[in-house]
Amino acid sequence: MSVISHITLGTNDKSRSKAFYDAALGAIGFKRVPKPAEKPLAYDRNGQMPTIYIYTPEDGRPATWGNGTHVAFTADTRQQVDAFHAAAMQNGGMDEGQPGLRSHYGPNYYAAYVRDPDGNKLQAVCYASGDTA
């Protein structure tokens, strides 16, 4: 079991976030959890924690992002990292770091960084060596 139960990210536009997260998280194996329309978006991978929730803030103020904060998702392959980045760019995301090796973090640390349409910083990272499929 994961030591993290869930991660919550804010949004100001649920339908825009749905398109973004369906594509970007879908590229690394997450699926949207069926929920009633009035509930927040939720995503998981193989029914396992952590669950990723996308909420409009309860206090009615606009959703904002945390400077210096990001959420990193593991990918099984480097191709998934590439697909995550491409899907994010095609669905309103902003580039924060093209897919590639980050050898200063480790010899096989292959990652990409994006911001979602609300400015939340996200990362996909693969620790596997080479181009495993």
31-69 pLDDT tens trace = 999 999 999 999 999 999 999 999 999 899 999 999 889
CB within 8 Å of 40: residues ≥ 6 apart: 8, 14, 53, 54, 55, 56
pLDDT of residue 3: 84
> Mean of the per-residue pLDDT values for the chain?
94
Rounded Cα distance between 96 and 125, Å, is 14
Residue type, 16: R
pTM for the predicted model, two decimal places: 0.91
Question: What pLDDT does residue 131 have?
Answer: 61
Question: 127: which 2 tokens?
Answer: 């620790």
Contact 81, 99 (CB under 8 A): yes
CATH T-level fold of 6-56+70-126: 2,3-Dihydroxybiphenyl 1,2-Dioxygenase; domain 1 (3.10.180)
Model pLDDT, residue 132 = 52
Q: Which contiguous run of DSSP H or E holds residue 83? A: helix 78-90
